[in-house]
Each structure stands twice: as C-alpha cells, then as structure tokens.
Amino acid sequence: MEGTGERPFSSEPGPIVAEELRLLARTHEALAEARGLRRGARPDGDGLRALRDEWNSAGEEDKPALLAQMHEEQARLSRARVDRLPDPAAPYFAHLRVRVAGRVRDVLLGAAPLLDGKRGVTIVEWRKSPIAEVFFSCEEGEDYEIEVDGRVIEGHVEERRLLTFEGGALASITVSGGVLLREGDTWRFEPRAWAPRLVDPTSPRRTPETRNPFITLDAEQQALVDREPRAPLLVLGSAGSGKTTVALHRVAALRRRFPEVFPAKRMLVLVPEPGLRRLSERILEGLAVEGVFVRTFEDWIRAEARRVFSWVPHHEPPDPPFAASRLKRHPALFAAIDRLIDEDTRAIARKLDRLLGFRGALRKALEARDEPFLRDRLRVIEVGLARETTGEKGRLLREALAEEQDKLARVRGDHRRLVGDRALLARAIEASEGDLPAGIVEQVAAHTKQQLAMTSEEAYAHVDADRLATLDGRTLDAGTPEETSGTVDVEDYALLFELLHRRTGASATRAGALSRYAHIVLDEAQELAPIELRVIGRALDPEGSVTVAGDAAQRIDRSGHFRSWEAVMEALAVRSEPAFLETSYRSPRPVVEFAHVILGADAPAEVPRAPREGADVLRTITAGEGHAAAVLCEALRHLRAEDPYASVAVIARDEASARAVHEAVSRGMPCRLVRDGDFSFGPGIEVTEVSEVKGLEFDYVIIPDASAKVWPDASEHRRALHVAVTRAMRRVWIVSPGEPSPILPSEEELRRLGKLHR
C-alpha cells in the first residue's frame, strides 16, 4: 500500500491458508508429543525426593555434590512442566520466514517456546528471542542483522504474517496488504493495512523550527495575568486551557513589574511531578525569568522538613504500603491530632499538679479552655493561675510553665504516637465515617513499628566500620525486609509541620524555620491533601500572593482526598473566587470530545470549547499483547518515517504496564522508557505511565494497554485515561489487547456530541 512500505498482495488465499494449516497441524502433533513426554518425565519429583533422602543420610563431605544434583533436578522439573508449553488453542500469533545462508527457516512467535526438529516446528518466546526482533523491526524483502550469543547472524525476511485463533482453529492471517478471514469453511481476502496511519494528511508536519513550548496568551488569559499582584488567583479549566501558562506568565509579570516586592528567590512554583517541573523551568527560561524556585511538592517539603527537624531520618522506605499514604494524607487524621493535643494538655496538667501540689487545679483550668494550640493553653495558666499564685509556689509554677513552653517544639514523641498508637489511629478511622477501613490501623501500626526499629548499622555500631562495608556500597538492610528500619515516609513531613503548628502556633524550631515566600504558584492543586495545603499556606508571607491552578477532572492520586476548590483555598487560608478558562487549545476537537465522554459521571456539564479541528481518535482491537506489539511497531515505524520531528508518548496505565510495553516496542525500534519526568520534550518515541505526564503535551498519544483488565470501569481509571488522552496536540490512538476497556466511549455516546469516531 502507498506510504506503508508493504508489498502488494497478489497470491490467491488457497496456498497461504493451506501452508498455515499444515504448519498448525505439525505444531499440534509436536505439542501432543511434548505433553506426553513431559508427563512421563517423572513430574511427581521421584528423583528429587530420592536425592533428599540421600541427603539425610549422607556425610558432610558428600552434601555439596548432592546439593548441586538437587538444584539440577529442580531445574529439570521446572523445564518439564506441561504448563510451560504453548497453549494448543492459540500456540503462536506470528509466522516469520527468513532466509539464512541460503536456507529458509520458519519461525513462529508465541508466549512459550517449543522446538521439534523432526516436524520442523520452532516456536520462540516473542519477548525474549533475538529472532523475534526481526519480525518487529523489518519489512518483507529487507535484510537484517542480529546478534546471538556474541555472533552476528545475517538474513533476509521472506514473509511476515500475523495469525489469530478462535476455538483452537485458525481464524485470520494478516499478510502484506491485507488479511485472510475464515468464514465457515471458506476464506476471503480483505485489503487492509497492518496498522492504521497515524499522521493526519491535513495537518502540517513538524520541523525543528516549529517546536516551541511557549504560547501567546488570549485576552481572557492576559486579564488573569494582570490581576492585582497581592490578590490570590484561582485558575480552573479543562486540560489544555492554559492554566499553567497563565500561572507562569503571572510569575514573569510580577518579576518584571515589581522586582523589589517579588524577588526571584522569594517566589516558589510547586508542581506534582518531575516532568512538569522540567517543563515549567523551560517555560520560565523562555520568559527570561531566572532564579525562581521550581520544585515538586515532595522535593520541597522534604528539604524543608530536614532543615527544620534536624533529627528526621535521611532515608525513605523504597516501597511503603499504600495504606500508610492513604491514612496520613486523609483529613480524618486531624481528629487524631486533636485528641493527641488534648492528651498532651492533660499529661502536662497532671505532672504539674502532682509536682507542685495543686490538687487538680491545673487540670481543671486547662480542660476548661479550647484553644487549638498547646502553647496558648499553657499561656492561659501563665496569665491566670500563675499570677494568682504568690511566693515560692508561684515562682516554681512559672518556671515549670516556661520549661514546658521550651519543650513544645519537640514533636518527635508526638509524631511516633500519632502514626504508631492504635487508639489514635482508630480515632481517625472513626472520624472518616466509613471512608477508611478499620483494617488499615494494623497495617500502619506494623509499618511504623518496623520504621522505628534499629537499623543493622545501629545494632552493630560496636563493630569496626570496615567489617560492615558491603560490596555494592548499599546499607546492610538494603534488599531485606528490614530496609524499612530507620526511615520516614514522605507523607510524614507534612504531619511534622502540622504537629509543630498545633503545639507552638508557629512553624519553627531551634534548627530552623519554614521558608516564607512573596508569591507561590500551586499547579495541579487538586492532587494535594489538606494537611499539605496547610503547610504551603503557612509558607506564604502575610502580605504575599498565591496562584492556584487545577482541574478536578484530572485528579489521579488515589490518596489526595480532594473535596472542593473551596476546601483547597480554605486549607491555604486564602480566599478567591475561581476564574474559569473554557477553551481547550492543546487538543483538536475530536480528542476533546472523546476525552469528555471518558469521564462519564465526572464530566463537566459542558464540553470544553475546542477551536481547532483535527483527526479522529483511532481505535484498534488486537487478539493479545503480541499482536498489539506488532501493530504498535508497524504504525510507529511509518509514523517516524512520515513525521520524523514529532513527539510521541506511549502512555500506559502504571509502571508495570509501561515496562512491559517498552520491552515490546523496543524490540522493533528505538524508544525510551521515561521515569521521574526525564522527558526529552523533543522528537522521538517515549514510553511512560499516566502519573508521569500531568501538565505535559505531545504531538501523538498512544494508549497501548486499553483492555478491560488494565482499565476497568472506575472513576479513578476514567480520570487517568482522560489525563492521558488530553496530552495529545494532534492525534490519539487507542490500542486494546483483548477485550476493550469498558470506559472507552461507545459510538452512541459520541453521536450525542454530534461526532461519530470510526
């Protein structure tokens, strides 16, 4: 077909179908024989049991050799497992014919390997075998080179075919230029490309000169930038409406117009992900703004906490339980903090009553007050009871109260109690009114107990340091269940600042104080928890201003606990009426409409305005992951040839799916697996997960795993898919390996918006 690099199909269906049916019959024979052999290969483990019996009676000098034999027998049994053979119902999905050194070889690609030289059947694992790369990276008629065990093997691709099965029978054969489809006992040929053409022929191609991340503001956006500098600004809008652009242009405008009031080092831009941080830095650089701090929230609060609380551990657990993050960020934890402060108050009153002989007078005086800060409760005694108490007893009381005031900034003990005391955690569960399950208490308490345990370095501090050194330079506990010991969760930093504020009414210790800023930009604010927003609000100068940007439809953090924009601004301790941006500039209209329907019940009442027309959203259903990999590689190869300067994001649901997709696509072409926001912001193919792409944009977006298994029907998945789709500036392609996700819009749903996507 023109523009695809495929050879036109000219053969009759009969010979190809007959050839594939013969190959399938030989494969079934080979599988039947292999299953019989493996069932007779002592699968019951008699050999291994005999070796174990021999081990029990063997002398010490014979045990090493027996141990080696036991390992070999275990490996043989593993190889002999019947379930490691190809599935007879669909033993492979692709057929590759190559010519190597004048000899023609037929290689089949499947999930499990099978080799039968007698019948000429070779099935290789498509994710591992070097020859499989030829199928994904080469066209028919091309020469290839691959490296196998240090040797370079050259060959020529004769045929490439994709196959599907239904009920164990061959159902379709995709060949160059089309597909052969079985209909009962007959076959017909249907002209069809292997993969859709992603490039929109009506859209101009990218060139190096057209890659520009900066946007000219419209009148509505410019009016927001020019708001009174001290006024807080809440900018809401759909994906691609320019919220981040407005926020960063406001930073530039404040720096330019009021440099003394808004010095660069007293301006802070907070974003949720490293990718958005890097993009924001690029935009500010393009606006000639230097020296403004751009940080992810986690990086910022980590640095602040370690400066203010000098005792905080310098390590975080590599894989903390989600339960801990969910509870520590939940608003219900404020109820546990309230109880903790009440307990601190009673404990101080009991101690002073006992030491100074007040016979409960202090406890009664303190319990009669409801000041939120422990500092103010103690001051009640200082200005009341202490003044009324004269002589030596009065002096002792004043000294005792001063001593307790000096201790208020010591929050380490309260923090340990808050995250480890089951009764306090249970108070949070109760306050959540069913939102948090009761079982989460034990999970968090157990996690905290392990964190408070001594590390191996601490336990063996008496041993010479050289003897404790590891070969890889890591800690002794790294890679063991004990590696959580001596760590702190990233969610604990906000808890520490909240406890400090509730005890002292301030955000400072003897080690340091929370930084203060003249202006703070808070982008994607819907992802932050109330306790985190409170810390940010306290970092704002009393005369400072804030710009908050967000979109409730794009919240994807399951532990963020977003309630409303009114609650966000209340947590920041600022008030502002929201300003709405209603035009989506990033994506063309078909993508905007498609993304709107994805949201389901969470969708706004009105579809965002999209002034730009564009190509329809493409959707492809494949028989499985192997088919999807082949189709992806085919389409991406042609896209790279037709639009070489385009940026392409292959966005999977999570990290595991992204790694699997990258492993598959990289077999056919160069592509990067992006973690921690390390995007190139330039031409090329990058594979990543949804959580990495907030606020970013790419020419083409491909969803490679849009199956019912990976994207079930739930609000969190709908919002995540909405975020992924709305990263596209030109086109979206949805690939569903197996059963499609139920959250994908139906044709009827799209008709309601006046557009049918095919």
Binding positions are: 237-244
Q: Which residues are annotated as a binding site for ATP?
A: 237-244
Q: How far is CA 465 from CA 469, 473, 477, in A?
A: 6, 12, 15
Q: Which of 584, 587, 523, 540 is nearest to 281 (CA)?
A: 523
Contact indicator for 640, 203 with CB cutoff of 8 Å: no
Q: Tell me how far apart the alpha carbons of residues 159 and 2 are, in angstroms, rounded to a whole number.
A: 19
Q: Tell me how far apart the alpha carbons of residues 691 and 273 are, in angstroms, rounded to a whole number.
A: 8
- State the DSSP code for 513: B
Contact indicator for 98, 105 with CB cutoff of 8 Å: yes
Residue 533 in tokens = 């927003």
Task: Write down the residue that tokens 């990718």 correspond to.
Answer: 275
Q: How far is CA 304 from CA 45, 262, 507, 534, in A?
A: 59, 21, 11, 14
Contact indicator for 739, 709 with CB cutoff of 8 Å: yes
With the CA atoms of 750, 553, 684 and 282 taken in that order, what torsion angle do they form, in degrees rounded to the nearest 10?
A: 140
Task: Write down the residue that tokens 């997960």 correspond to.
Answer: 689
Contact indicator for 231, 670 with CB cutoff of 8 Å: no
Strand, helix or coil for residue 366: helix
Contact indicator for 730, 588 with CB cutoff of 8 Å: yes
Q: How far is CA 549 from CA 268, 282, 288, 341, 510, in A?
A: 14, 18, 22, 34, 34
Residue 191 in tokens = 């002209």
With the CA atoms of 66, 72, 73 and 78 taken in that order, what torsion angle do they form, in degrees rounded to the nearest 10?
A: 150
Residue 397 in tokens = 């009381």
- In this structure, the number of other CB atoms found within 10 A of the CB of residue 621 comes to 16
